[in-house]
Structure 1
Amino acid sequence: MAAGRRNLKALYLVPASLCVCVIASFQLTAFTFRENLAASALLLILFGYATIPWMYLLSGFFTSSDVAFVSYISINFVSGVSTLLLTFLPRLIAGISKMESLTQIHDILKWAFLVFPQFCLGHGLMELAFRQVKYDVNESFGIDSYINPFQLDSLGCLFISMAIEGSIFLMLRLVLNGLSFDTHGQNTSLLPNDEDIDVELERKRLLEGMTANDKLLLYNLRKSYKNVKNKRFFAVKDICLGIQRGECFGLLGLNGAGKSTIFKMLTGEIHPSAGQAMIRTCKGDEVRIFSAMSNEDITIGYCPQKDALNNFLTGWEHLYFYCKLRGIPKKRIHKVSGALCSRLNLTDHIDKLVGTYSKGTKRKLSIAIALIGRPQILLLDEPSSGMDPCSKRYLWKAIREEMDGGCAVVLTSHSMEECEALCTRLAIMVNGMLKCIGSPQHIKNRFGEGYLVTLWTNKEGVCEYFSKTFQQLFPGASLKKMHQSVLEYHVSQDICIEKIVQILDAMKTKNDIKSYSVTQTTLEQVFIQLATQHDENISEDEIFNGLP
């Protein structure tokens, strides 16, 4: 955050310097005469020093960048124009009517409005113009009435006011940031009493420091919001998680489970209410993720849920821009961009405007941007959304190549096929908490409910008779599907898989069935089971439709 403020202030000096250059070039007498040019430059510099920390303080009240942008413009406009009018009009009328009361009102308001940097800037420039008019009139009578703008009774009070305001706002922001970090470990735990054993072991592993191979570490990460009734709602509840180099970790959950909120905290879009997100550097040190973003040794790639693309630029222009941001030398940009396009099958569309892209093609471009610079941590929020099966295979291959290079990948997806194909470990989130964690096979073994047995009979029309025979052989078996000569049963997990195969082989030998298959409960079925088990307000139909 401190680095961001320094960068903004340094960036502000560019337009401020251009303004001074324009004033000097056009020789505007009111702002260039004697010491006036130096006073004008100092006004612009101190205005930025006072305003930028103030805007940072206000940013904590907004959750939407669009609302913040409009609010910033409105606040600056109102606090600047209205205060100037309220002081200018009494001064103007007092000069015409010679009313002392209006002069007193002007003096009171002038001192009261010094708390607004916008007023200080505008009033300072107007004062320079007024004094120059007064000087020109007196000069015609041979009187030199020039007043040094740096004197306290001139613009000196404005300079001091903005310097003090900037320092106070800056210190207040630093204090608030320090308090937010210091209180991360002082919050009441939200952990349930019946936390899953695997989730508990993962938490214990992190808190005990057994994280030598972990690249990304989340310590009791939490995010809360307040609704219109001022009631606190927890979107993420004390997540403890470590992701190793070369690992693809999958986050599964219904819409609103907290997956995208975790990504926003990892990318710095929002701040956690408690806990810390850490990254292990190449030297083995753990640093906060907000500090790591300014560290040249750490590269993070991010593909957001919604494509952050400009419809009026081509795919090639996007890649060129982001390659420059990543610090890739200009002579290598064409080679790097071409390699990414080839890996994701994007070459045919790279010279077209993004506005003409399909949803799947936009996702491929977003992923290509995330892969620039060989990131050490790759965050993919539903990357294959809208992609055709062929494009998915290119994506999966690209992700595996990154994993082979030691990249730690965090993936969210609604495709169970994608999770089983890519993820070495995954977790299922419900209501902001991890309900299980482990490899896909481990989760199916722990939470699966039996086996799915599919039979192909020799004759049609004997399904009802055959169903009774099967249920006698496998007590508790339930018929799931029946179509012509195909029967599908669910068999309890209490029955040994070896016994199931032996009985089915005997039936096949007797020519009762043509063939059979035995499969374990799918990951999708486990996901539905856990989601409905821990949230009684959600039905299976809503899960299939992807509703929260």
Structure 2
Amino acid sequence: MIAAFKLPAFYNYPNLGAVSLLFILFGYATFAWMYLIAGTFKNAGMAFITYVCINLFIGINTIISSSVVYMLLQQTSTTDKNYQSLNTTYNVLTNFFKVFPQFCFGYGLIELAQQQAIQDQYAVFGSSNEVNIFDLDVLGYMFVAMTVQGTFCFLLRLLINDGIIYSVSNQLLQKLQLVQYKDRITASYSCGTRRKLSTALALIGRPSILLLDEPSSGMDPKTKRHLWKIISEEIQEKCAVVLTSHSMEECEALCTRLAIMVKGKFQCIGSLQHVKNRLA
């Protein structure tokens, strides 16, 4: 794909390897922090749009900021009194921006293009200036920075997950009235308790669609009503629930639309009253 653009700066040896490594490490560093904040979103589409906007905002602003200072630095004479301050500003900016994988990726591509332009200029005069693009002074620091960023965010995600897992599991155990069973093996659970456990597992991650197969089967009336209350709360929080059941009482308590299936085909579908009228 890179070679299709026919840009020597990106597909000539060893630049192609450097570009590939930039893409890999950018993904490693970016996905790590994306997963770090994934829990703040309920909608996957909104999360994706937000991630893209954040990546573009950080990447564009950091690259433009450093590029503007760099161009001013190139236009300033070394004897000018402002040269030292501009040089210091540029070094501080580039070093600070290395904490962002978006900057490292963009800066790495720019550095490759710049090195290729220098090589082309030397070639015009029949000379060459071989530079190892993997040196720390060229792209090495970018590779190291993105590796550190990804590893740090990944480890941070693991540490945060420990607290989240404990909190979510306890919350669901209490919600489904399973606290007294938490230290028992599931093989000893009754049929109704296993149903509650299955529902608890289905609720992990706050799903937008919940699929349940006879969720209250094998439960006593009191436990059934409690489970129906939990499912109703999920519906009120904009969770779409699709369930199969042989209990009309359960359907009346939970469903806004019903469908009757016979031999794998829908025979009737509509509101509760519509189905009742059809079968009356």
* TM-score bucket of the superposed structures, by smaller chain: 0.5 to 0.7
| Amino acid across the alignment from 2:63 | L
Matched ranges for 1:332-411 at <5 A: 385=257, 392=259, 394-395=260-261, 397=262
Residues 177 and 37 of structure 1: CA distance in aligned 2, closer, same or farther (over 3 Å): same
Q: Distance in 2 between matches of 1:84 and 1:160?
A: 19
Structure 1 counterpart of 2:248:
none
Q: Distance in 2 between matches of 1:138 and 1:69?
A: 44
Structure 1 counterpart of 2:26:
47
Deviates more, 1:91-100 or 1:161-170: 91-100
Task: Tell me, yes or no, if the aligned pair for 1:30 and 1:129 is still in contact at 8 Å.
Answer: yes
Deviation at 1:70, TM superposition (A): 3.1
Q: Distance in 2 between matches of 1:186 and 1:382?
A: 26
Matched ranges for 1:124-203 at <5 A: 124-183=108-167
| Structure index of larger Rg | 1
Q: Distance in 1 between matches of 2:273 and 2:162?
A: 41
Deviation at 1:121, TM superposition (A): 0.6
**Structure 2 residue 186 is matched with structure 1 residue 211:** no
Deviation at 1:120, TM superposition (A): 0.7
- Of 100, 106, 110, 1:122 maps to 106
Task: Tell me, yes or no, if the aligned pair for 1:113 and 1:119 is still in contact at 8 Å.
Answer: yes
Matched ranges for 1:266-345 at <5 A: 304-305=240-241
Structure 1 counterpart of 2:58:
79
Task: Tell me, yes or no, if the aligned pair for 1:23 and 1:32 is still in contact at 8 Å.
Answer: yes
Deviation at 1:218, TM superposition (A): 2.8
Deviation at 1:143, TM superposition (A): 3.3
SS of 1:176 mapped into structure 2 = helix
Give deviations 1:362-395, integer Å, cap 9, x for gaps: xxxxx7xx99xxxxxxxx996662x6xxxx4x34
TM-score of the two chains, using structure 2 as the length reference:
0.68
| Amino acid across the alignment from 2:85 | S
Deviation at 1:96, TM superposition (A): 2.0
Structure 1 counterpart of 2:233:
258
Task: Tell me, yes or no, if the aligned pair for 1:76 and 1:118 is still in contact at 8 Å.
Answer: yes
SS of 1:115 mapped into structure 2 = coil
Give deviations 1:509-531, integer Å, cap 9, x for gaps: xxxxxxxxxxxxxxxxxxxxxxx
Task: Tell me, yes or no, if the aligned pair for 2:228 and 2:254 is still in contact at 8 Å.
Answer: no
Q: Distance in 2 between matches of 1:29 and 1:71?
A: 33
Residues 398 and 58 of structure 1: CA distance in aligned 2, closer, same or farther (over 3 Å): farther
Residues 218 and 186 of structure 1: CA distance in aligned 2, closer, same or farther (over 3 Å): closer
Deviation at 1:163, TM superposition (A): 0.8
Task: Tell me, yes or no, if the aligned pair for 1:206 and 1:219 is still in contact at 8 Å.
Answer: no
Quick one: higher RCO (CA 8 Å, sep 6+), 1 or 2? 2
Residues 218 and 398 of structure 1: CA distance in aligned 2, closer, same or farther (over 3 Å): farther
| Amino acid across the alignment from 2:26 | F
Q: Distance in 2 between matches of 1:161 and 1:133?
A: 25
Question: Which one has a larger percent strand, Structure 1 or Structure 2?
Answer: 1
| Amino acid across the alignment from 1:140 | V
Q: Distance in 1 between matches of 2:274 and 2:162?
A: 44
**Structure 2 residue 88 is matched with structure 1 residue 95:** no
| Amino acid across the alignment from 2:105 | L
Structure 1 counterpart of 2:15:
36
Structure 2 counterpart of 1:70:
49
Residues 123 and 203 of structure 1: CA distance in aligned 2, closer, same or farther (over 3 Å): closer
Structure 1 counterpart of 2:278:
none
Q: Distance in 1 between matches of 2:181 and 2:263?
A: 30
Structure 2 counterpart of 1:108:
92
Deviation at 1:219, TM superposition (A): 8.8
TM-score of the two chains, using structure 1 as the length reference:
0.37
SS of 1:142 mapped into structure 2 = coil
Q: Distance in 1 between matches of 2:237 and 2:196?
A: 12
| Amino acid across the alignment from 1:176 | I
Q: Distance in 1 between matches of 2:181 and 2:61?
A: 58
SS of 2:2 mapped into structure 1 = helix
Q: Distance in 1 between matches of 2:190 and 2:228?
A: 26
Matched ranges for 1:213-232 at <5 A: 213=191, 216-218=195-197
RMSD: 4.4
Give deviations 1:221-276, integer Å, cap 9, x for gaps: 699xxxxxxxxxxxxxxxxxx8558xxx785459x951437995xxxxxxxxxxxx
Which runs of 5 or more residues in structure 2 are unaligned?
Answer: 78-82, 204-214, 219-223, 245-250, 265-270, 276-280
Deviation at 1:74, TM superposition (A): 1.9
| Amino acid across the alignment from 1:117 | P
Q: Distance in 2 between matches of 1:261 and 1:149?
A: 57
Q: Distance in 2 between matches of 1:85 and 1:56?
A: 27
Residues 90 and 184 of structure 1: CA distance in aligned 2, closer, same or farther (over 3 Å): closer
Deviation at 1:177, TM superposition (A): 1.7
Deviation at 1:216, TM superposition (A): 3.6
| Amino acid across the alignment from 2:138 | S
Q: Distance in 1 between matches of 2:2 and 2:200?
A: 51
SS of 2:56 mapped into structure 1 = helix
Task: Tell me, yes or no, if the aligned pair for 1:114 and 1:161 is still in contact at 8 Å.
Answer: yes
Task: Tell me, yes or no, if the aligned pair for 2:58 and 2:102 is still in contact at 8 Å.
Answer: yes
